Amino acid sequence: MTTLQGISASTGAALGPFHIMAAALPKPSSMQSGSGAEFELDNLSRAIKAVSNELGERAERSEGLAQEILYATQEMTEDSALFSEAESLLAKGHTAAYSIWEAAEIFTRLLINAGGYLAERASDVANIRDRIICVLSGVDYPEIPLLNHGFVLIARDLSPADTTDLKPGQILAIVTEEGGPTSHTAIIARTLGIPAIVACTGVIEAARNDGSNSVGVDARAGVITFNPSQELALELAALTKAIENRRLHRPLHGADGYQTTDGFTVPIYANVGRFEDVNVAVESGADGIGLLRTELLYLDRKTPPSLSEQQELYTKMFTPFASKKVVIRTLDAGADKPMAFINFSKEPNPALGVRGYRTVSNHKALLTTQLEAIAEAAKASGAEVWVMAPMITLPGEAQDFVSLAHSFGLETAGVMVEVPSAVFLANEIAKESNFLSIGTNDLGQYLHAADRESAQLAHFNDPWQPALLRAVHQVANAGARGNCPVGVCGEAASDPALAAVLIGLGVTSLSCNVSTIQDVAQAITSLTYVEMRDAALAALEASNAAEAKLLARKHLHKLASLGL
Ligand code: PEP
Ligand code: MG
């Protein structure tokens, strides 16, 4: 048995044979072309056109999210910046294959250096490069095979174009050596309900060295086991069955949210960052939107979105939730989310610098235009719109933001609690706000002084860390004292067992990744409030994340039989 640990990107479990996706072509030689720049340029243009046409044809045959991703990849293929970069290398006498390889390298480096969401788009550029090189070399691009049995797909990384061909019945699970939990691979896998693990270092080598061609995947825990023991195989088979059975039942929902078995109501909202997430949120049974990350809507913009543009998009995004709650966050720009239309000065520590609400001290018009657009969209859509600001540090900032939002007619205005000072000042901040929303992703990184993007420091950013749980408890208590609702919108709320603990700690609502709403709802509706409270009290006593999980799970044992 060989066991490897990666990061869970889509929950579930699988057991079966595996297939290693063929590696892309190696880097082309840097030898000069013998055929001349004009010939190479013509070759490159034709290869780009062929790849673009193929992606376009596949997009036409697809629908929904897969179609959008294929069209977006097609657009990237024709990106003139990538072509111009390659053209300048062709002019130096290189071959078309070498030039496009180098040009793509420059772009992927830029994306990786930008970090966060942009870094995860680097695999899209690499995939376009590989497709173009395959056309230039006259070989077939390695596609996902069509086998007559189900299998676990193991790959270095999968691109959006690869993943659009995934068939849930055939692909039992996906495990990639690279990639991150917010990459396109992860998004598609979650949408299709395929268990997935990403960033699983060494998985390809382990697969090549394995003689059994049998693998067990526990995507809840991010663990893959080659040649599993009979005991583990039985455990995974039971887990897969439990998940299948559970998914046949819709969880119990009352007038204002999901219901625990002792009648306590928990609203479960969705985190959205793209227009297309909204429909998925509706289909997933979300009670509304609990976090609309507006900066993600405009990440690729060179100029600020106008009032009318914003108004139109927000109206479209709010309307499916007319008469329901929508919590929209003002631009959270900076650090891992740089925006071309905001001039950030170079800082030694961007995550501790001018980001989130702090950016508006220099760009007030961005905030006021956005609030005006939100207020208009709220009226036009009929949704119950709440607005909040990110990265609030002091009560004075909360006071300024809330009164500004009120002046635009936005009656319910609140702030995110995601830096430690806001935890210690939660009583005062709650007095200034109509609601609080805890951002556990940033709060975890700032409490532990550990970059949330760092794979090496990932254990500090485990949302089960007791310091984070104690912080949530403190904020929930401050909210209860001040009659101020407190939600959690960080990824912690997307872990079904942890979501139950958060409710037990006293938070009044959860906002999750759309793909996990049903799992979280099933966890909440299978437990009593008392069990969640006991699990929370136990976890608060722990001194590390693993212990917190273990102590809490003793009170949440019903979840195991549901495969949660
Ligand atoms: C958070 O920090 O938990 C949060 C929800 O905000 P983001 O992940 O967008 O920084
Ligand atoms: Mg945050």
Highest mean pLDDT among 55-59, 123-127, 175-179, 440-444: 440-444
Ranges of beta strands (E only) in 220-301 are 223-226, 258-259, 265-266, 268-272, 288-293
pLDDT at 164 over 80: no
Per-residue pLDDT tens for 458-505? Answer: 788 889 999 999 999 999 999 999 999 999 999 899 899 999 999 999
CA 340, distance to chain mean position in Å, is: 22
* Cβ contacts of 554 within 8 Å, gap of 6 or more: 535, 538
- Highest mean pLDDT of the ranges 81-85, 270-274, 513-517, 531-535: 531-535
Q: How confident is the model at residue 108 (pLDDT cuts 50, 70, 90)?
A: confident
Catalytic residue among 484, 489, 512, 555: 489
Residue 271 confidence (pLDDT): 94
Atom 1 in ligand 1: residue holding the nearest Cα? 439
Q: Examine the residue annotation and report whether 484 is marked as an active-site residue of this protein.
A: no
Ligand 2 center from residue 167 Cα (angstroms): 34
pLDDT in tens, 335-386: 778 888 988 888 888 889 999 999 987 899 999 999 999 999 999 999 999 9
Give the residue, out of 269, 272, 292, 293, with the most ligand 1 atoms within 8 A of its beta carbon, to mutate for a pocket test.
293
Residue 86 reports pLDDT greater than 80: yes
Task: Assess whether pLDDT exceeds 80 at residue 145.
Answer: no
Q: Which residue has the higher pLDDT, 172 or 71?
A: 172
**pLDDT tier at 509, thresholds 50, 70, 90:** very high
Three-state SS annotation for 353-364: CCCHHHHHHCCH
Which of 327, 324, 226, 192 has the alpha carbon at shortest distance from 271? 327
Q: Whose CA is nearest to atom 10 of ligand 1?
A: 442
Q: What confidence tens digit (pLDDT) does each residue in 29-42 have?
A: 777 777 888 888 89
CB-based contact 285:518 (threshold 8 Å): yes
Q: Is the pLDDT of residue 182 over 60?
A: no
Q: Give the pocket of ligand 1 (CB within 6 Å).
A: 291, 293, 332, 418, 439-442, 489-490
The better pLDDT of the pair 455, 147 is held by 147
* Residue 236 confidence (pLDDT) above 80: yes
pLDDT attached to residue 491: 87
Cα(121)–Cα(123) distance, integer angstroms? 5
Q: What is the mean pLDDT of residues 514-520?
A: 89
In the annotation, is 249 catalytic?
Answer: no
Q: Cα(386) to centroid of ligand 1, in Å?
A: 17
Q: State the DSSP H helix or E strand holding residue 476, giving kind and residue range, or none if neither.
A: helix 466-481
Q: Is the pLDDT of residue 184 over 90?
A: no
Give the pLDDT score at 332.
94
| Confidence category of residue 79, pLDDT binned at 50, 70, 90 | confident
Residue 24: pLDDT band by 50, 70, 90 thresholds? low
Confidence bin at 438 (pLDDT 50/70/90): very high
* Residue type at 295 in one-letter notation: E
- pLDDT confidence tier of residue 303, bands split at 50, 70 and 90: very high
Domains of the chain, start order: 2-22+142-247 (3.50.30.10), 37-137 (1.10.274.10), 258-562 (3.20.20.60)
CA of 491 to the centre of ligand 1 (A): 8
Torsion sign across C-alpha atoms 321, 322, 327, 331: positive
Pairwise CA distance, residues 411 & 408, whole Å = 8
Contact 359, 401 (CB under 8 A): no
Distances (CA, A) of 473 to 66, 339, 403, 548: 40, 34, 27, 14
Percent with pLDDT over 70 in the chain = 96
Taking residues 376-405, report their average pLDDT. 98
Tokens representing 268 are 């479960």
Q: How confident is the model at residue 89 (pLDDT cuts 50, 70, 90)?
A: confident
- How far from the centroid of its chain's Cα atoms is residue 159's Cα? 16
pLDDT band for position 121 (cuts 50, 70, 90): confident
